[in-house]
Amino acid sequence: MSILKDFLLQLAIMVIPIFSYFTLVIEKVESEKRRTLFMTLLWGVSILLCMAFPISFGDHARLDLRILPLLFGSLYGGFWPSIFLSAFIILYRLTSGISAGLYSTVLVLVLTLPIIWYYQKTFLKAARAKKVFISSSLSFYYCLLGLIIVGLLSGFSAENIKIQLIFLLFVTAVAFCFIMLVEKIRENHQLRKEMQNAEKLRVISELASVFAHEIRNPMQVTRGFLQLLNDPDLPDDKKKYVQISIEELDRANEIIHDFLLFGKPSADNRQRVDAGLQLKRAVNIIQNYSFSFNAEIKMSIEDNCWIHANSQQLNQSLINILKNAAESMENGGTVSAGCTAENGYVRITIKDQGIGMTESQMARLGSPFYSLKESGTGLGMMVSYQIIRSFGGSIEVNSAMGAGTEFIILLPHMDQ
Ligand code: ADP
Ligand code: MG
């Protein structure tokens, strides 16, 4: 009976970090690096608890699930978490003295870690079924290795082999179930986030089409009268007030323009469009503006970049991205704009040498009204994302603070 309790306790120790991570960390912490840090700490605690309360098979053996926190931490976190968690295991083992157990622990780790690292990238990209397969196989391998090494160091006895085999099956089964659980929770979380976003955007686009026109008209009238007020005889300070009022009205108008574009149904008016040509046009439009930031735009554009799109909207989204690129370079620099066709996709890249973004800034990119600029609208990226998505494309962002930002737009290629 007490052995059953031990098994259950080990399972409970595994569940705690998973639920703490998905209920607390993922909701509260934005930055990917910090999430990995918290996840590693949680798995570290789980390793300690696993090793402190092992399953004891009478006098024969004391086994625990430590491989699973190590495996999950390494597969999801990468190199450093795996080193940290392995160090945890070895340090804890050291506290009970140097023995054959310590040697076998170190040896098994040394022979397992490289294989985990080798499969880590594949694991992250894989679909759920493959992830389950990789993690179950790795835990099976770890236990088998443990069985062989312990056997070589302290002799094979029938009883020991039996215990180790039971344990091996248990660990593999738990790895199988838990990776399924983790993946299911991750998928649900992702789905919920996407739904929240979609709902937010739906509300905005509805509001946009209802209000924008109504607000625009009175604004135009006000602007007209303000211009009439702007008499040459007016004292300088009053002239300035009128000028500021007109500028602010123009800014409001710009926001409404972006909103209207966003609210428009995007499926209509799509044709065969040369993305390279549109990129050239967008660059031409933005060229003068970029000079004021001392930004030079370099182009490298291939022929035959045909896509199915609405040229005006595509243009708008490219202008938004190019404009941001120029604005990000306070001290000037080069923006490289490229367009190539490869593997069924047209790939548009816009790369600047500007201030760059942190991970949390990148995560917020495209949310309505997110802007770090004094007079920004925070709608440009939202509109661009919406447009590119409506063409069946995707936008990827790579950025580093101080080094610059690269936008990669992938759109389905249309044959000639
Ligand atoms: P706006 O330009 O009006 O601020 P956007 O939606 O176009 O609104 O951009 C949102 C924010 O994203 C910007 O305020 C800026 O902080 C950040 N951003 C966008 N593009 C870049 C870039 N190329 N480099 C650095 N930051 C950027
Ligand atoms: Mg912008």
Tens of pLDDT, residue by residue over 55-74, are 888 776 788 899 999 999 99
Q: Which one of the ligands is nearest to 384 CA? A: 1
Which ligand ends up closest to the CA of 379? 1
SS3 state at 388: helix
Are 153 and 104 a contacting pair, CB within 8 Å?
A: yes
How far apart are alpha carbons 176 and 14 in whole angstroms?
Answer: 13
Domain boundaries, the chain: 2-195, 271-412
Q: In the structure, which protein residues have their CB atom closer than 6 angstroms to any atom of ligand 1?
A: 320, 324-325, 328, 352, 354-357, 365, 370-373, 376-382, 405
Q: pLDDT digit string (tens) for 145-155?
A: 988 988 888 77
Categorize the per-residue pLDDT at 416 as very low, low, confident or very high, splitting at 50, 70 and 90. low
Measured distance CA(70)–CA(90) in Å, rounded: 12
Q: Measured from the CA of 325, which atom of ligand 1 is nearest?
A: 23
Q: How far is the CA of 381 from the centre of ligand 1 (A)?
A: 7
pLDDT average, residue stretch 259-274 = 70
Confidence bin at 36 (pLDDT 50/70/90): very high
- Of all protein residues, the one whose alpha carbon is nearest to atom 10 of ligand 1 is 371
Which residues have CB less than 5 Å away from ligand 2 (the ion)? 324, 380
Please name every residue paired with 333 in a beta bridge, in sequence order, or none if there are none.
295
Predicted pLDDT at 208: 72
Q: How many angstroms does the Cα of residue 396 sit away from the middle of ligand 2? A: 17
On the question of pLDDT at 12 being above 60, the answer is yes
Predicted confidence at residue 187, as pLDDT, reads 87
Distance 336 CA to ligand 2 centre (A): 17
Distance 381 CA to ligand 2 centre (A): 6
pLDDT at 200 over 80: no
Measure 389 CA to ligand 1 centroid, in angstroms.
18
Segment 221-234, tens digit of pLDDT: 999 999 988 888 88
Extract long-range pairs of 35-38: CB within 8 Å, 24+ residues apart.
Answer: 36/76, 36/77, 36/78, 36/81
265 pLDDT more than 60: no
pLDDT tens column, 292-324: 889 999 999 998 899 999 888 898 899 999 999
Dig out the tokens for 153 from the structure.
């160091």
**Residues whose CB falls within 8 Å of the CB of residue 161, separated by 6 or more in sequence, listed in order:** 147, 151
**2-195 CATH pick, 2.40.50, 1.10.10, 1.10.1220, 1.10.1760:** 1.10.1760
Residue nearest to atom 16 of ligand 1 (CA): 372
Task: Say which residue, 20 or 2, is predicted with more confidence.
Answer: 20
Distance CA 18, CA 38 (A): 11
Answer whether residue 348 shows pLDDT above 90. Answer: yes
Instruction: State the closest ligand 1 atom to the C-alpha of 407, by its place in the atom list counted from 1.
Output: 23
pLDDT at residue 122 in the model: 92
pLDDT for residue 222: 92
pLDDT at 267 over 60: no
Q: Nearest CA to 100 among 148, 150, 55?
A: 150
Q: How far, in Å, from the CA of 269 to the mean position of ligand 1? A: 28
Q: Which residue has the higher pLDDT, 201 or 184?
A: 184
pLDDT at 1 over 90: no
Convert the pLDDT of each residue in 369-380 to its tens digit.
889 988 788 888
Instruction: Check residue 85 and give its pLDDT.
Output: 95
Nearest residue (by CA) to ligand 1, atom 19, is 324
The rounded Å distance from CA 382 to ligand 2 centre is 9
For the CA of 377, the nearest ligand: 1
What is the CATH architecture assignment of 271-412? 2-Layer Sandwich (3.30)
Residue length of the chain: 416
Q: Is the pLDDT of residue 286 over 90?
A: no
Task: Give the mean pLDDT of 148-177.
Answer: 87
Least distant ligand from the CA of 325:
1
Closest approach atom of ligand 1 to CA 321: 20
Give the mutation target among 371, 379, 395 for probing the ligand 1 site: most ligand atoms within 8 A of CB: 371
Percentage with pLDDT > 90 across the chain: 49
User: Alpha carbon of 258 to those of 45, 243, 351, 378, 404: distances in Å?
Assistant: 49, 23, 23, 10, 25
Cα of 324 from ligand 1 centre, angstroms? 5
Least confident of 21-25, 240-244, 253-257, 275-279: 253-257
The DSSP call for residue 329 is -
The pTM score is 0.57
Average pLDDT over residues 168-188: 92
pLDDT at 89: 93
Q: Which of 114, 116, 117, 173 is nearest to 140 (CA)?
A: 173
Per the CB < 8 A criterion, the answer to whether 318 and 335 are in contact is: no
Q: Residue range 259-265: average pLDDT?
A: 62
Whole-number mean pLDDT of the chain? 88
In angstroms, the CA 317 to CA 407 distance is 12
- H helices within 56-157, ranges in order? 67-77, 79-94, 100-125, 128-154
Closest atom of ligand 1 to 375 CA is 3
Which residue's CA lies nearest to atom 7 of ligand 1? 380
Provide the pLDDT for residue 262.
61
What is the structure's pLDDT at 264?
A: 58
391 alpha carbon – ligand 1 mean position (Å):
22
What does the pLDDT read at residue 263? 58
CA torsion sign for 287, 290, 295, 298 is negative
Reduced to 3 states (helix: H, G, I; strand: E, B; else coil), residue 203 is helix
DSSP string, 142-171: HHHHHHHHHHHHH---HHHHHHHHHHHHHH
